[in-house]
């Protein structure tokens, strides 16, 4: 959460910083600000709200400074007001700092700094840093690097910072402790950013900073040090990013574009993870996940930790792993696992799912798992892996073993195509484990593979045939305040996902329930004002799901059914049907989620809401 950028070179920093922030706005959009050095002074411009407000303020600026830092904020400490916007400065306004993360001991530091005469102007935790740096100079630090090195030892928490000083106008200092930070290496110009999309239009050569590293950037080069002050040799790597991929490409919103990219995500995963030459007579696995053998050895249990949409993918994954591979699987909110992990079980694989690869709760849950296994002599070393869309992320570096979801950069805060990639990861993982455990016949494997291969065109059919209809239908949700989503078995997580999508972008209260659970209480909520969206596709729970839907209809709820296009009775049962092509029940979540995504998108768009950047949210949740 929060995005930081920095630039030092020969061009005008202001426009580079603002365009970098634009690419990081997904990390937070409560306020934005930049600081540059102009006429030997820090020039700090900040604005409450979206980046556009900062742009408006900068329109009349003639500042051509070639050095600066910038920030886009997701408020943690202090309201989203201009006075809390970054950059923050010291009392004399000679030092400016932007930060992503949380300084946990800021109260203690602030109280101490106040007694030494430092004047605070915001409610943020970050503001302690420029004052602390000023204090370090007072205490004898000579260089900016020296001051930052002294200061970081006093900061507790997870943070990434960029520091600018009017008294050291030819350098930028950045530091990282558990929050992401990457350097961009140009020709006589250097950048820093919380994430690579901010850099790719300027340079594809990057250096990833690790925990407890500080870098000094000048126009002549960069040098990285550890927190002890020892130089660290870093090897730059070249990205292969297409800056166009982070544009809307004619769609009104990123979310719409990303919904439409899902067939391509499935195709890419099929190409990456399926052996094209496999036949039913083959005597080896058709799956090419390339995971270490140690992942599979004597495997008895799987535990999955994740948050939000990733958790829902994990719940589908659990169903697949138990059903196909007969392996007991537990799914837990990462934020709960952190403080109440289940007892250590032997021969257990732990999987963290996170599209961003930097969700603090998921990262911490995996760290705890690794730590407690190392410290339990009886338990084997942690067997930990991640399913992520960012193979260069903190989580990927922590666990080493990943399944890449191949979804490409997702900008909309509401996860859609990354969810699709996560589902794909679990189809391939569960098929691979099932193959190894001999819990699946080659014929069933072949049938499922055939089914998987049909999915991209089946998603396209739904998008083509349903989009207009769902857009029209969204108008009936103009005054709706509550919606219930129902699903059973493998489609229960899809009911949860439908509800999450709707509430996060349309601000309509929505709940997902297992269809059969309604009668145990939630049914009391139903009346003509509460529509119900039910998944009822052919398979083990079809009849039951239909009965549960009818129970809702009997309470006057307007009933929407996500049903098979071949279901001739659906129109009699449901007030409105959202048909999907016929599909094996195990593969159905890939299709049933599409009408849910389209519904939430169109309802939010129809209400005129900010679909890609819903209020109070951010794409990467890097705080606890
Ligand atoms: O990056 P992650 O997959 O770890 O993110 C987890 C959740 O924060 C995320 O899925 C969130 O719920 C999305 N806004 C859902 O659309």
Q: Which residues belong to the active site? A: 2, 619
CA torsion through residues 303, 623, 364, 415, sign: positive
pLDDT at residue 503 tops 70? yes
Are 185 and 272 contained in the same domain? no
Residue 441 CB contacts under 8 Å (≥ 6 apart), including other chains: none
The tokens for 287 are: 């799956």
How close is the Cα of 99 to the center of ligand 1, in Å?
22
Length of the chain in terms of residues written: 624
Q: Is the shortest distance between the CB of 160 and ligand 1 below 6 Å?
A: no
Q: Is the shortest distance between the CB of 362 and ligand 1 below 6 Å?
A: yes
How close is the Cα of 472 to the center of ligand 1, in Å?
28
Taking CA atoms only, the protein residue closest to ligand 1 atom 4 is 354
How close is the Cα of 310 to the center of ligand 1, in Å?
6
How close is the Cα of 296 to the center of ligand 1, in Å?
28
Q: Which pLDDT value is given to residue 380?
A: 60
The tokens for 501 are: 């999508």
Q: How many CA atoms lie within 13 A of 23 on its CB side?
A: 22
446 belongs to a structural domain: no
- Ligand 1, from 26, 194, 309: best to mutate by most atoms within 8 Å of Cβ? 309
455 belongs to a structural domain: no
Are 431 and 491 contained in the same domain? no
- Ligand 1, from 259, 353, 621, 623: best to mutate by most atoms within 8 Å of Cβ? 621
Q: Is the shortest distance between the CB of 354 and ligand 1 below 6 Å?
A: yes
User: Of the residues 240, 260, 281, which one is the last residue of a structural domain?
Assistant: 240
Q: Which pLDDT value is given to residue 299?
A: 95
Taking CA atoms only, the protein residue closest to ligand 1 atom 16 is 414
Q: Which pLDDT value is given to residue 619?
A: 83
Ligand 1 atom at minimum distance from 501 CA: 16
Q: Which pLDDT value is given to residue 202?
A: 95
Across the range 494-498, mean pLDDT stands at 98
Ligand 1 atom at minimum distance from 388 CA: 3
CA dist., res. 373 & res. 371, Å (int):
5
Taking CA atoms only, the protein residue closest to ligand 1 atom 8 is 308
Are 131 and 46 contained in the same domain? yes
Are 287 and 235 contained in the same domain? no
- The answer to whether the beta carbons of residues 596 and 501 sit under 8 Å apart is yes
Taking CA atoms only, the protein residue closest to ligand 1 atom 1 is 356
CA dist., res. 263 & res. 463, Å (int):
10
Judging by beta carbons within 10 Å of its beta carbon (0-12, 13-18, 19+), is residue 520 exposed, middle or buried?
Answer: exposed
* Model confidence band, residue 621 (pLDDT cutoffs 50, 70, 90): confident
How close is the Cα of 311 to the center of ligand 1, in Å?
8
Are 20 and 152 contained in the same domain? yes
pLDDT tens-digit readout, 37-53: 999 999 999 999 999 99
Say how far residue 608 (Cα) sits from the centre of its chain: 24
pLDDT tens-digit readout, 355-389: 999 899 999 999 999 998 887 765 566 799 999 99
- The answer to whether the beta carbons of residues 127 and 99 sit under 8 Å apart is no
CA dist., res. 417 & res. 425, Å (int):
13
Ligand 1 atom at minimum distance from 361 CA: 4
Q: How far apart are the first and last CA of the chain?
A: 11
454 belongs to a structural domain: no
Q: Is the shortest distance between the CB of 334 and ligand 1 below 6 Å?
A: no
* Model confidence band, residue 620 (pLDDT cutoffs 50, 70, 90): confident
Q: Is the shortest distance between the CB of 456 and ligand 1 below 6 Å?
A: no
pLDDT at residue 342 tops 80? yes
Q: What is the total count of domains within the chain?
A: 3
Are 227 and 257 contained in the same domain? no
453 belongs to a structural domain: no
Are 378 and 510 contained in the same domain? no
In the numeric block, the tokens 């006075």 are attached to 83
pLDDT tens-digit readout, 172-198: 999 999 888 999 999 999 999 999 989
Ligand 1 atom at minimum distance from 422 CA: 3
> What are the start-end ranges of the E strands in 324-379?
329-333, 348-354
Query: What pTM was estimated for this model as a whole?
Result: 0.87
- The answer to whether the beta carbons of residues 53 and 96 sit under 8 Å apart is no
Across the range 526-541, mean pLDDT stands at 94
CA torsion through residues 76, 79, 82, 84, sign: negative
CATH of the domain at 484: 3.40.50.10490
Are 233 and 280 contained in the same domain? no
Q: Is the shortest distance between the CB of 305 and ligand 1 below 6 Å?
A: no
Across the range 459-475, mean pLDDT stands at 96
332 belongs to a structural domain: yes
User: Of the residues 240, 270, 298, which one is the last residue of a structural domain?
Assistant: 240
Are 232 and 260 contained in the same domain? no
318 belongs to a structural domain: yes
Q: Which pLDDT value is given to residue 206?
A: 96
Q: Is the shortest distance between the CB of 613 and ligand 1 below 6 Å?
A: no
pLDDT at residue 1 tops 80? no
CA dist., res. 79 & res. 313, Å (int):
33
Are 214 and 327 contained in the same domain? no
For the beta carbon of residue 517, count every other beta carbon within 10 angstroms: 14
How close is the Cα of 597 to the center of ligand 1, in Å?
15
Q: Which pLDDT value is given to residue 377?
A: 61
pLDDT at residue 133 tops 70? yes
Judging by beta carbons within 10 Å of its beta carbon (0-12, 13-18, 19+), is residue 68 exposed, middle or buried?
Answer: buried
Residue 593 CB contacts under 8 Å (≥ 6 apart), including other chains: 419, 420, 494, 497, 498
Q: Is the shortest distance between the CB of 307 and ligand 1 below 6 Å?
A: yes
Q: Which pLDDT value is given to residue 375?
A: 76
DSSP secondary structure letter of residue 524 = G
How close is the Cα of 367 to the center of ligand 1, in Å?
19
pLDDT at residue 34 tops 60? yes
Q: Is the shortest distance between the CB of 310 and ligand 1 below 6 Å?
A: yes
pLDDT at residue 250 tops 60? yes
Across the range 21-46, mean pLDDT stands at 95
Q: Is the shortest distance between the CB of 25 and ligand 1 below 6 Å?
A: no
Range of the domain at 23: 3-240
Q: Is the shortest distance between the CB of 597 and ligand 1 below 6 Å?
A: no
- Ligand 1, from 359, 360, 366, 493: best to mutate by most atoms within 8 Å of Cβ? 359
* Model confidence band, residue 240 (pLDDT cutoffs 50, 70, 90): confident
Q: Which pLDDT value is given to residue 622?
A: 78
Taking CA atoms only, the protein residue closest to ligand 1 atom 7 is 308
CATH of the domain at 153: 3.60.20.10
Are 512 and 577 contained in the same domain? yes
Q: Which pLDDT value is given to residue 522?
A: 87
- Ligand 1, from 253, 308, 386, 612: best to mutate by most atoms within 8 Å of Cβ? 308
> 3-class SS at 212?
coil
Measuring CA to CA, how many Å separate 234 from each of 223, 239, 351, 594? 9, 16, 29, 43
508 belongs to a structural domain: yes
Question: Percent of the chain scored above 90 by pLDDT?
Answer: 87
Across the chain, what does the average pLDDT equal? 94
329 belongs to a structural domain: yes
How close is the Cα of 412 to the center of ligand 1, in Å?
11
Are 62 and 35 contained in the same domain? yes
Q: Which pLDDT value is given to residue 379?
A: 56
How close is the Cα of 313 to the center of ligand 1, in Å?
11
Q: Is the shortest distance between the CB of 415 and ligand 1 below 6 Å?
A: yes
User: Of the residues 424, 440, 456, which one is the last residue of a structural domain?
Assistant: 440
pLDDT tens-digit readout, 387-408: 999 998 889 989 999 999 999 9
Q: Is the shortest distance between the CB of 515 and ligand 1 below 6 Å?
A: no
Backbone angles phi, psi at 402, to 5 degrees: -135, 155
Backbone angles phi, psi at 574, to 5 degrees: -95, 145
pLDDT at residue 154 tops 60? yes
């Amino acid at each position: 959460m929060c995005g930081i950028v920095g630039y030092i070179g020969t061009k005008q920093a202001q426009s580079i910083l603002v365009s970098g922030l634009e690419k990081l706005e997904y990390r937070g959009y409560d306020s934005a600000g930049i600081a540059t050095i102009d006429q030997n002074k820090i020039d700090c411009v900040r604005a409450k709200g979206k980046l556009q407000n900062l742009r408006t303020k900068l329109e009349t600026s003639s500042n051509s400074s070639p050095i600066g830092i910038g920030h886009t904020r997701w408020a943690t400490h202090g309201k989203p007001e201009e006075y809390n916007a970054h950059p923050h400065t010291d009392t004399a306004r000679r030092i400016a700092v932007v930060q992503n993360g949380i300084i946990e001991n800021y109260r203690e530091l602030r109280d101490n700094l106040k007694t030494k005469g430092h004047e605070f102007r915001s409610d943020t935790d970050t503001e302690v840093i420029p004052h602390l740096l000023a204090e370090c100079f007072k205490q004898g630090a000579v260089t900016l690097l020296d001051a930052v090195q002294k200061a970081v030892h006093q900061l507790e928490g997870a943070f990434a910072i960029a520091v600018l000083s009017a008294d050291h106008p030819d350098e930028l200092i950045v530091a990282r402790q558990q929050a992401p930070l990457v350097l961009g290496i140009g020709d006589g110009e250097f950048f820093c950013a919380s994430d690579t999309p901010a850099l790719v239009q300027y340079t594809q050569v990057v250096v990833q900073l690790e925990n407890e590293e500080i870098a000094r950037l000048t126009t002549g080069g960069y040098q990285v040090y550890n927190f002890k002050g020892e130089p660290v040799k870093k090897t730059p790597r070249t990205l292969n990013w297409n800056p166009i991929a982070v544009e809307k490409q004619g769609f009104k919103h990123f979310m719409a574009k990303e919904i439409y990219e899902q067939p391509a995500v499935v195709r890419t995963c099929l190409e990456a993870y399926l052996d094209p030459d496999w036949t039913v007579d083959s005597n080896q696995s058709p799956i090419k996940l390339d995971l270490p053998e140690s992942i599979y050895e004597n495997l008895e249990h799987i535990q999955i930790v994740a948050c939000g949409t990733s958790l829902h993918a994990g719940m589908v994954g659990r169903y697949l792993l138990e059903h196909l591979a007969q392996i007991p699987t537990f799914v837990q909110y990462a934020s709960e696992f952190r403080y109440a992990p289940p007892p250590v079980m032997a021969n257990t694989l732990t999987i963290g799912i996170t599209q961003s690869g930097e969700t603090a709760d998921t990262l911490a849950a995996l760290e705890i798992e690794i730590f407690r296994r190392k410290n339990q002599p009886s338990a084997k070393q942690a067997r930990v892996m991640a399913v992520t869309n960012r193979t260069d992320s903190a989580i990927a570096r922590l666990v080493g073993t990943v399944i890449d979801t191949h979804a490409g950069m997702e900008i909309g805060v509401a996860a859609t195509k990354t969810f699709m990639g996560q589902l794909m990861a679990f189809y391939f993982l569960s098929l691979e484990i099932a193959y190894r455990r001999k819990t699946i016949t080659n014929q069933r494997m072949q049938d499922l593979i055939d089914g998987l291969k049909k999915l991209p065109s089946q998603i396209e059919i739904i998008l083509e045939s349903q989009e207009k209809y769902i857009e029209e239908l969204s108008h009936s949700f103009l005054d709706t305040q509550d919606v219930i989503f129902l699903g059973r078995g493998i489609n229960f997580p899809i009911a949860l996902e439908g509800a999450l999508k709707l509430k996060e972008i349309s601000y309509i209260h929505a709940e997902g329930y297992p269809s059969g659970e309604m009668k145990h209480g939630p049914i009391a909520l139903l009346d003509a004002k509460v529509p119900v969206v039910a998944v009822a596709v052919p398979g083990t729970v079809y009849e039951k799901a239909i009965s549960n839907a009818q129970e809702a209809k009997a309470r006057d709820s307007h009933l929407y059914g996500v049903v098979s296009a071949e279901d001739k009775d659906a129109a009699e049962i449901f007030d409105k049907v959202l048909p999907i092509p016929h599909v094996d029940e195990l593969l159905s979540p890939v299709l049933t989620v599409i009408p849910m995504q389209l519904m939430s998108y169109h309802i939010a768009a129809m209400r005129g809401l900010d679909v890609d950047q819903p209020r109070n949210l951010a794409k990467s949740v890097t705080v606890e």
